[in-house]
Amino acid sequence: MKLIGYFRSSAAFRVRIALNYKDIKVEHASRHLRKGEQRAPDYVALNPQKLVPALVLDSGEVLTQSLAILEYLEEIHPEPPLLPKDPVGRARVRALALIVSADVHPIQNLRVMAYLRDKFGQTEESAFAWSRHWIETGFEAYEATIAKDQRTGAFSHGDTPTFADLCLAPQVFNAQRFKVDMARYPTIQRIHAACMQHPAFDAAQPSRQPDAEL
């Protein structure tokens, strides 16, 4: 398999963590989002959304959307699991993952910020303020959901990583870039620290990718 991503992409970050956690070996390739390489015709043929990641299977099939890719990896490599065994637990984990992946990340990513600047004349500072607002809104909900729930353990659900943590950790990286005051979210901070001590998360972080711009 081949994973096409970008070192700073939160969505690609999620998939890299899952691949590491399940010890699935893939070829890695990159499309530089700031240079517009995702809009090249050969990539658009693979992923008409012009987004990363894309997972190219050995069969030639192409999977897109990070959560769909995570579900696929969980099905073909169920061990070690990234979803709880009980249906309610699985629903909780998916809901936490969606707070980040559906309600926060899409409205503060690169193309949205570029649209704010190019079409509405927003400055870099005001575009950053937009992003901070939506990250803080999502983190307030995430923190309130996990802070006093007995199902929260070392990680967002129990004592092993789940889809929720795979979405949360990359978003914390974004929050730091946008100067979010993380002291307001102590449970998220604690879980993020636990995540980044795990080899699967550490190896997947942006600075450790071959295409990273230091």
56 membership: H or E segment, kind and range: strand 54-56
The radius of gyration computed from the CA coordinates of the chain, to the nearest angstrom, equals 17
SS3 3: strand
| 169: nearest Cα among 155, 183, 184 | 155
- Would you state the structure tokens that stand for residue 6, as one six-digit string? 């970008």
Domains of the chain: 2-80 (3.40.30.10), 87-202 (1.20.1050.10)
Q: Which residues of 146-156 are buried (b: 16+ CB within 10 A; e: fewer)?
A: beeeeebebbb
Q: What is the reported pLDDT for 48? A: 97
Torsion sign across C-alpha atoms 42, 45, 51, 56: negative
pLDDT at residue 213, as a whole number:
80
What's the CA gap between 206 and 173, in Å, rounded? Answer: 9
Mean pLDDT by 10 residues, the chain (214 residues): 97 98 97 96 97 97 98 98 98 98 95 94 94 97 97 98 98 96 98 98 97 79
pLDDT, residue 118, reads 95
- State how far the Cα of 157 lies from the Cα of 172, in Å rounded to an integer: 17
Amino acid 158 reads G
Enter the tokens of residue 100.
């980040």
CB 195 within 8 A of CB 173: no
Which of left, alpha, beta for 121 (phi over 0: left; psi -120 to 50: alpha)?
left
